[in-house]
Structure 1
Amino acid sequence: MVTGAGTGIGAATATALAERGAHAAVLGRRPERLAATAQSFDGLVVPADVTDPDSIVEAAGRVRTAWGRVDLVVVNAGFMAAAPVTEADPREWRQMLDVNVAGALETTRVFVPDLLAAAADGHATDLVLVSSIGAHLAMPDLSAYFASKAAVTQFGRCLRAELGPQGVRVRVVEPGNTASDLGQDMGNGAARGRLVSYVEQAPPIPAASVGEAIAWSCALPAGVNLAALEVLPTVQG
């Protein structure tokens, strides 16, 4: 089950997992984009909003009804906005916290019982949290976004201590500059322009490369966990 699977890293990850034989359920807010993702591998399209706890519970029920217990969850849905702190739109801050942090927490809470049950049966079981290399960086304009991703990274570390002893492999993936539509709808045009200029200094890698890395990490033998994975363009320091 992959959230935020309509485009970008989510779509690429679902595709890479399906190519390796997984039954991939794609979850997101835009049914038409989910359908485009799923059409190449006959995936299960599950429209849902990670900011709505009831929506996630309903989505989990649909996945279980169609395919049974879930043993691999990729928490990828995200929203990015950039602005100097004095010019930031509090509504964008709230959306980043709702999607990036609360959405990740709630998605995890709903699916962890499946993962624990799968692990108890001896299966390789993965919870993958897609954060950002920004969790470790300091840059102008991106303080709130980076803070939200730092929260995801720390959430993953703590979950690894909690769930790892029960057989669930918890992994935090931190992409660097990656080609996607993330941030294209942010409100502050000047900050968006500065971000584009920064990205041009380290040309982004395709989202498919991050998806391949995630799928590879999930294919490791049961009992082996690649706990943290930074996936960067070679030229990004």
Structure 2
Amino acid sequence: MSYETLAGRTAVITGAASGMGAATAGLLAAQGVRVALLARRAERLEEVAAKIVSEGGEALVVVTDVTDQASVDTAAERVHTAYGRADLVVNAAGVMLPNPVDEGRTDEWQRMLDTNVSGALRIIRAFTPDLVAAAADGRTADLVNISSIGAHVTFPHYAVYGATKAALSHLSASLRTEFGPRDVRVTNIEPGLTDTELAGHIDNAELSSQLDGMFDALGALSGDDIADLIAYTTSRPRHVNLRQLIVLPTRQA
């Protein structure tokens, strides 16, 4: 599918080293979008960028830790120096570390809060002036936050992860009241079971096995499926905001 209206835009994508972020970067670049790739793993970012460039796209590698404000500030400076203002921001960085709450894994809790909530806020803070300025100039401006079906569907042992995603979904809804009147669109995407590296972060053997069973029974979405949804959403006419998108494998209730 072609999304011709995306050509010439400038996107900032976090979590761009793999999964949904990498897939989104590749698809947007193929549509003529300049993509700034933000993530921690330099080697993986270079691989993603090399593939984009080999296919005729334009990509900028920006090694970034969204849990660190100084790193985000430096990233914004690099993007602005290379590409100027961004008009499309995708918060795809995230971490999922399920465990029973009574295990008290505060290190995991903090990591999820710092990445899934505070990390998204740091990126929003860094690039809000870009989005507002783009919209004021009459251009399309988009903020896309990737939340999760876990934001409002409960799963045992995913309480903290679900809480971080609920926070991101609520943040997106609230931001529409601030950004919408200035013609900046905010889209919240809540994927169901998706085949990404998130599952590889789980160190609880029982929960990992349960997740594998779900993949076998239900099938899963791919990063490309989410990228396609993001490209569709951000290529709509600028007065149309697809505000809340829940996407599931067909077999997932």
TM bracket, shorter-chain basis = over 0.9
Which residue of 2 is the match for residue 164 of structure 1? 180
Counterparts of 1:159-198 in structure 2, within 5 Å, are 159-198=175-214
Aligned to 1:142: 158
Which of 90, 103, 108 is equivalent to 2:124? 108
- Equivalences for residues 38-49 of structure 1 within 5 A: 38-42=49-53, 43-49=59-65
Name the residue aligned to 2:66: 50
- Structural RMSD (CA): 1.0
1:26 correspondence with 2:33? no
Deviation at 1:88, TM superposition (A): 4.4
Equivalenced residues, count = 237
Alpha-carbon distance, 1:36 to partner: 1.4
Query: For 1:69 and 1:195, how far apart are their aligned partners in 2?
Result: 40
1:217 matched to 2:207:
no
Instruction: Give the conservation status (yes or no) of the 8 Å contact 1:84–1:191.
Output: no
Provide structure 1 residue ranges, at least 5 long, that are not aligned to the other structure. Answer: none
Q: Output the CA distance in 1 between the equivalents of 2:233 and 2:157.
A: 32
Instruction: For 2:131 and 2:76, locate their aligned partners in 1 and report how far apart those are by CA, in whole Å.
Output: 12
Distance 1:119 1:61 in 2: 20
Query: Out of 110, 134, 142, which is 1:94 matched to?
Result: 110
2:148 and 2:215 mapped to 1: Cα distance?
Answer: 14
Helix, strand or coil: the match of 2:194?
coil
What's the counterpart of residue 133 of structure 1?
149
Letter of the 1:24 partner, please give it. Answer: V
- Helix, strand or coil at the partner of 2:180: helix
2:95 maps to 79
Q: Tell me by how many angstroms 1:186 deviates.
A: 2.4
Q: Read off the aligned partner of 1:121 and give its amino acid letter.
A: D
**Is the 1:82–1:141 contact (alpha carbons within 8 Å) kept by the matching residues of 2?**
yes
Quick one: percent identity of the two aligned structures? Answer: 46
Q: Which residue of 2 aligns with 1:37?
A: 48
Q: What residue in structure 2 maps to residue 62 of structure 1?
A: 78
Unmatched runs of 5 consecutive residues or more in structure 2: 1-11, 54-58
The normalised TM-score by structure 2 is 0.91
